[in-house]
Chains A and B, each alone.
Chain A
């Protein structure tokens, strides 16, 4: 098959202080002039520590018609790689070859002007994304129908709801017909019905033999849309594998100690004595400390602490909240009557209270853990509401064959029966 994208040792270097997309980080003439006269600053500007590689030594080929996923944690270099591929920034080293027109969707609605009507923006945005006027005119009705904003097409988009705005923006983008399409996270727009439509459209694009490079944090979208993915970590490409494998790796890679909170002695209030928290961590079923767990796998919460003196009636527990702050559950290590009776007094020493959260419990999303150590009705030693945040990835969870988001904090796998009664 033909190679559509060829990337070889690609690298992009940024100067620290020149943020890749930072606002307010610009120079003023005054700085440059004063730097020119300050030997120290001049040398500092040349020091290699001030240069960072956002991506380095990236090499891969993509065959024509292939949909390649690009996954990695925040700051892994995904966005930089997409910007390089879509030619928004130029590489510092290496080379890449692209066969055919590249359409990039780094965000939807690029160049939309609030004062212009939907119709005007549609033409403008189409032109910006590289469509010809005749092409836009030809597809105009189809795009408008896809966006479901027919009635408001001659209204300035500043009066649109955010949903309408995004639908129109995505509709234009979805009707692009470049040979190579570079997509970043844009599927996460609109309501469930619209999302389903977008994913369908993406599938069409791939089936029409066009090459798609797809970046997402949404692992289920990656699994559904791509056959193969590459995993980026700290600017390096560490894996290229079938998507199921790559997603597994991504979700299980113990990265950068996220998924753990360690207390320094200075963080602990004096009133907590003799209780002294050391760390709380989320451990997946492979023993890695993780920030993202899978909904379909059990995971362990570990709370490690020191007692400098014995405490009677101590209970150590966790609160779980959704990202919006709605409580999901509260649980203590002596909830069980048997545990309560056998742990009436805890002697001085180091302890770990550990519990296993069963699989098929939490829905997709971000959650917050709080901790509490107290003796019921006697004394609260230590409590913290937002101690640790983590994500739940829904890949494989019940009902994932429908792309709609499920409301609710829990996503249990219930035993349904379907019985024909008449």
Chain B
């Protein structure tokens, strides 16, 4: 290179030093923040792609919860005739299905996210936490669509809105936190053990029945209430019913406190576990 066409180099940036990882690594949330645009892009991609080449498109976001509601209504309402505290069965169950479907979808897609994004992970560097995080977020759009049916049902059953409805965004965040916490554990494990792919549907199915979706948590025997509340979805679902329908169970505040606590523990432990496993992802996947 001759002196004449030499351009002065840009001011030297700080050196990034990379060494073999040792022990437990930090969460490196700063890096995650730098890549926030990628999170929105991947979420946007998941949303765009989800209903492409489907005949009914985004109406699946309505059909799914409605069919689920009918099934649960038939089993828990018509057959088992479980008490709903005076609320009409269909709306009682549909209300619970809103956070539940959001949770189940977020859990499933984040649990599978590392494998479905294998092509990215083996070719490009970015904080791997971006992957489960963006897949969890993409469920929010479906949630929004299924909320429309909820509004229709509230008009139909003439259920008045209360101020409590303003807590819904917080409850959505809590749902996502729980799903992400569990999802990160499963996503990391899925890289090591493909068994996770088979466990996921069973886990979701079982979890549905130990959550107050088809029935009210008030139907649980007194001595099991505390144990029951340790399912973090109990608090979320009951709080949702309270926010939408104005009906609160006696133990609601305890349930919500436990739900937040468990959700937080799942999130932090999931993040650390995921980061710990992260170093082997590109080798193993």
Contact = CB atoms under 8 A, between A and B. Distances in A.
Interface of A: 1-2, 6, 14, 18, 20-21, 26-30, 32, 64-65, 83, 86-100, 102, 104, 106-107, 110-111, 113, 115-116, 120, 123-124, 127-130, 132-133, 156, 179, 207-209
Contact of B18 (A21, A87, A99): A87
Nearest to B278: A90
Contacts of A93: 20
Contacts of A88: 121-125, 282
Interface stretch (B148-156, B190-198, B206-214, B259-267): B190-198
Contacts of B126: 128, 130
Given A27-B192, A113-B45, A97 B13 contact: no
Contacts, number: 123
Contacts of A208: 7
Nearest to B190: A26
15 contacts: A21-B122, A27-B192, A64-B9, A88-B282, A89-B283, A97-B18, A98-B18, A100-B13, A102-B125, A104-B124, A115-B48, A116-B49, A179-B13, A208-B7, A209-B7
Contacts of A129: 124
Contacts of A102: 125
Contacts of B18: 87, 90-91, 95-98
Interface centre among A90, A99, A179 (most CB of B within 10 A): A90
B202 to A, nearest CB: 14
A27 B124 contact: no
A21 B16 CA distance: 26
Given A89-B283, A90-B20, A97 B15 contact: yes
B37 A28 contact: no
Nearest to A66: B1
B12 A14 contact: no
B9 A209 contact: yes
Contact of B20 (A18, A91, A207): A91
Interface in B1-47: 1, 5, 7, 9-10, 12-21, 37-38, 41-42, 44-45
Contacts of B119: 110-111
B120 A111 contact: yes
Interface of B: 1, 5, 7, 9-10, 12-21, 37-38, 41-42, 44-45, 48-49, 52-53, 119-126, 191-195, 279, 282-284
A24 to B, nearest CB: 10
Contact of B193 (A29, A89, A96, A132): A29
A366 to B, nearest CB: 26
Contacts of A14: 283
A113 B123 CA distance: 15
A30 B195 CA distance: 9
Contacts of B17: 95-97
Contacts of A83: 282
A18 B123 contact: no
B135 to A, nearest CB: 14
Contact of B279 (A90, A111, A124): A90
Contacts of A1: 9
Nearest to B44: A124
B274 to A, nearest CB: 15
Contacts of A156: 52
Given A99-B16, A179-B13, A209-B9, A120 B48 contact: yes
Given A88-B123, A116-B48, A26 B284 contact: yes
Given A107-B123, A116-B48, A133-B37, 14 more contacts: A26-B193, A27-B194, A28-B195, A65-B1, A86-B124, A87-B125, A88-B121, A91-B18, A100-B13, A106-B124, A113-B49, A115-B49, A115-B52, A207-B5
Nearest to B125: A87
A128 B124 contact: yes
Contacts of A132: 37
Pick the most buried of A102, A113, A128: most chain B CB atoms within 10 A of its CB: A128
Contacts of A127: 37-38, 41-42
A91 B19 contact: yes
